[in-house]
Structure 1
Amino acid sequence: MPENSRQPVIVGAFNTRQARVLEGETSHRVTLAAIKGALADAGLERSEVDGLNILPGLDYQNGTRAFGYALDIPYFWVGRQAPGPASVLEAAAAIREGVCDVVVLAAGEAGIHTDRTSVAPWTRPSNEFIECWGLMTPAEFALSAQEYLHRFAVDPVKIAYVASVIRNNGARNPEAIYYGRGPFTPQDILDSRLIAEPYHLLDCAMTGEGGSALVLTTAERARDLPAQAVTVLGGGSESWGPSYTHPPTYDRVGMLGRRAADRAFAQAGLARADVDVFELYDNFSWEIIRYFEAFGYCAVGEGADFVADGTIEIGGTHPIVTDGGTMAHSHTGESQRHQRVVQAVRQLRGTTSANQVEGARTALVAALGDVILLGA
């Protein structure tokens, strides 16, 4: 058997329709629709699947096994990592080691966030650190961003520029929930109401509903499939501690993902300059700057200047979040992390619905401390 015959590749990538509210839908239905779409994209039948990692809604414990039973798959490997780069990396390792041959990764959400007057339920877990003191996700992520701005004397306009780029990408994307809204300027971002200093409303992710799924298999199996395979070149994953329990100061989280990125590039045999497109988890605007610093693209404290002057726009040297991300495309609890991978696959195939990066051959996908590199 050739040495690279078990090289993990992505052969299916699919998003369902995304919307602020999908009337009459459930998390299980949109997740199932995403699975069917990804398998159809891959040209595979569910009977060929022997690995699953599925998260419908917030069913972290039983989602995969329940879906495996419902799909009539008798026996299957179960992945346990969070959606997005982490689960892709885990599935790729299982495929490479021969544990399984065809893995479906999927997540979806609908009908969970019904109270639009409050932040999404996954941002306010029920424990003593949340209910008494209000350390919800926006406030938590704002802590390190605010410290960064003060430590390095960064103009907030430079942070707002990041959000304007992402939202304008979504405004051009017909699949995005915020399609047609824009264009946005950095001042528009700063003029939106303050949520948790330094973040204004338009610096933050929205909430939406929909599903997303991926199918991975071996390079050898992919030769017989109609879809263009995208290779998982390398990856890394790291975390720092319990969320909502310890304060995420800049010194604790500022460099999250640095060693993961080093490992990803080492495995892939690539240099930083080889990446054509950056599909980064954009839950808050400053996080994009943090990624570029943590991943070694610029010195610490220089990220705001690094992303300026069109660098991160379509046509720039480091285009980011090309579908509009969680700020403008969709934010469906957990499946939005899969959407970062789906969009990277589309970019490398040349099939994205908008904002195609010409000649894209390599993509970096990141969500917090999880990093993967993909190649066409």
Structure 2
Amino acid sequence: MSLRDRVAVTGIGETQYQRGAARSSTALQLEAALGAIADAGLAPRQIDGIIPIGITGAPAEELATNLGIGELRYSALTPMGGASSIAAIQTAAAAISAGLCEHVLIAAGRNVSSGAKAGQRIHQMPQFHLVTEFELPLGAIAPAQLYAPMARRHMELFGTTSAQLGEIAVACRAHALLNDNAIMRKPITLADHQASRMIADPFRLLDCSLESDGGAAFVISGAEAARDMRQPRVLVSGVAEGHPDSPSAITQRPDMTRLGLAKAAPRAFAMAGMTPADIQVAEVYDCFTWVVLCQLEDMGFCAKGEGGAFVGEGRIRLGGRLPVNTHGGLLSQAHMLGLNHVVELVRQLRRQAGRRQVEGVEVGLATGYGDLGDGAITIMRRG
């Protein structure tokens, strides 16, 4: 059985993104969840499946209690770091198609900008217990340190430059300027990127995603039920997850420049009956600029090693061949574990994105990047 067009995203919600939020991650998660449920035209009691995302926020049972859900028939976890929210779409689609539930809420909340630092938080994740043999003894404890060798390897093999990575940061910031719910609202230039301080070679400050607080959520429903719901249908035409070779140790891979997305993307495109040429907008997980570049290659928008040239000449900006991260992404809107990428894709396909709307968009995709290179992708279309 194919999951093609079996489910739709029927509701989206997000809080104001900020730093130093006064409310708990659970409160932020609940606000976003209620917004998504209302956007779908549902009452909380009609939600019968929950997939919470991330190591902050509430588990399914706590969400069900606080939301007043009548009967929770299905819950799950997709512990894949930044790939979790896209992997959750696949899980929800399978559960709904199997008749286990009707409306699945996928929600996250974060209040981290004034608390534990990223290097401390990520080591609460199960997958980070696996890097103790090769990476941790060399002092790699934070994401920038873990992924920097991957980017450096790409540079050595293909001649990719820091300035090419900067093109991604500048494009995301330009899009964030059109988004009232983006944290970073000051324009940047490529010169600003090149002048920003080094964090972990080759990553400069402006290559790195934000530390931010907020909540985001969306509702997945059966495709037929979605016909009669409040918002225009946004169908999930393709979805898949993939894991890299040597999934538990980055530095032991035969090719550090190939992510799990390289395995997932062909399956998602085949399910959707599409190719990269059909995609009109892409919300690509951007914990670091290089991760965007590598994913564009692994999805087939260009050949391996050609990502640096591909992102130049305005190609990934609004008005270009493939607008990327039209909301500003994790680099400039907010780090919301990739749920904000799904929210933005749905807005684009509903044609509700305001000043940053891609004209005439019918098909788009969103990706997730897991902490050790896991990949997930969803291809959606107007229904």
TM-score, structure 2 as length reference:
0.88
- Correspondences of 1:224-239 after superposition (within 5 Å): 224-239=228-243
1:269-298 Cα offsets, whole Å, 9 max, x none, are 112111110000011111111111111121
Q: Is the 8 A contact 2:4 2:271 kept in 1?
A: no
Q: Could you tell me how far 1:51 is from its partner in structure 2? A: 0.6
Return 5+ residue gaps in structure 1 as ranges: none
- Correspondences of 1:316-331 after superposition (within 5 Å): 316-331=320-335
Q: Is the 8 A contact 2:269 2:275 kept in 1?
A: yes
Q: Could you tell me how far 1:85 is from its partner in structure 2? A: 1.0
- Correspondences of 1:43-82 after superposition (within 5 Å): 43-55=41-53, 58=56, 63-73=59-69, 74-82=71-79
Per the alignment, residue 97 of structure 2 pairs with 96
RMSD of aligned alpha carbons? 2.4
Q: Is the 8 A contact 2:5 2:235 kept in 1?
A: no
1:187-215 Cα offsets, whole Å, 9 max, x none, are 21110000001100001001100000001
- After superposing on structure 2, the runs of 4+ consecutive aligned residues of structure 1 that deviate more than 6 Å are 3-6, 241-244
State the SS of the aligned residue for 1:141. Answer: helix
1: CA distance between counterparts of 2:161 and 2:138?
A: 33
1:302 aligns with 2:300: no
1:304-330 Cα offsets, whole Å, 9 max, x none, are 111211110000011100100111100
1: CA distance between counterparts of 2:241 and 2:114?
A: 33
Q: Could you tell me how far 1:71 is from its partner in structure 2? A: 2.8
Q: Could you tell me how far 1:259 is from its partner in structure 2? A: 2.2
Which of 151, 154, 159 does residue 165 from structure 2 map onto? 159
1:147 aligns with 2:153: yes
Q: Is the 8 A contact 1:264 1:372 kept in 2?
A: yes
* Aligned length in residues: 364
- Correspondences of 1:113-262 after superposition (within 5 Å): 113-115=113-115, 118-119=117-118, 121-125=120-124, 130=136, 133-179=139-185, 181-182=186-187, 184-240=188-244, 245-247=249-251, 251-262=255-266
State the SS of the aligned residue for 1:342. Answer: helix
Q: 366-375 or 221-230, which moves further after superposition?
A: 221-230
Per the alignment, residue 274 of structure 1 pairs with 278
State the SS of the aligned residue for 1:294. Answer: helix
**Equivalent pairs: percent with the same residue?**
30
2: CA distance between counterparts of 1:259 and 1:244?
A: 16
Per the alignment, residue 348 of structure 1 pairs with 349
Q: Is the 8 A contact 1:144 1:249 kept in 2?
A: no
Q: Is the 8 A contact 2:105 2:219 kept in 1?
A: yes
Q: Could you tell me how far 1:97 is from its partner in structure 2? A: 1.8
Q: Is the 8 A contact 2:4 2:236 kept in 1?
A: no
Would the alpha carbon gap of residues 269 and 51 (structure 1) be closer, same or farther in structure 2, given more than 3 Å must change? same
Return 5+ residue gaps in structure 2 as ranges: 370-374
2: CA distance between counterparts of 1:241 and 1:4?
A: 26
State the SS of the aligned residue for 1:214. Answer: strand
2: CA distance between counterparts of 1:157 and 1:4?
A: 40
1:22 aligns with 2:21: yes
Would the alpha carbon gap of residues 140 and 170 (structure 1) be closer, same or farther in structure 2, given more than 3 Å must change? same
2: CA distance between counterparts of 1:94 and 1:168?
A: 38
State the SS of the aligned residue for 2:367. Answer: strand
TM-score, structure 1 as length reference:
0.90
What amino acid does structure 1 have at the position aligned with 2:96?
A: I
2: CA distance between counterparts of 1:10 and 1:318?
A: 22
1: CA distance between counterparts of 2:354 and 2:76?
A: 30
2: CA distance between counterparts of 1:242 and 1:72?
A: 43
Would the alpha carbon gap of residues 241 and 353 (structure 1) be closer, same or farther in structure 2, given more than 3 Å must change? farther
2: CA distance between counterparts of 1:5 and 1:286?
A: 30
State the SS of the aligned residue for 1:247. Answer: helix
Q: Could you tell me how far 1:154 is from its partner in structure 2? A: 2.2
Q: Could you tell me how far 1:178 is from its partner in structure 2? A: 1.0
What amino acid does structure 2 have at the position aligned with 1:29?
A: A
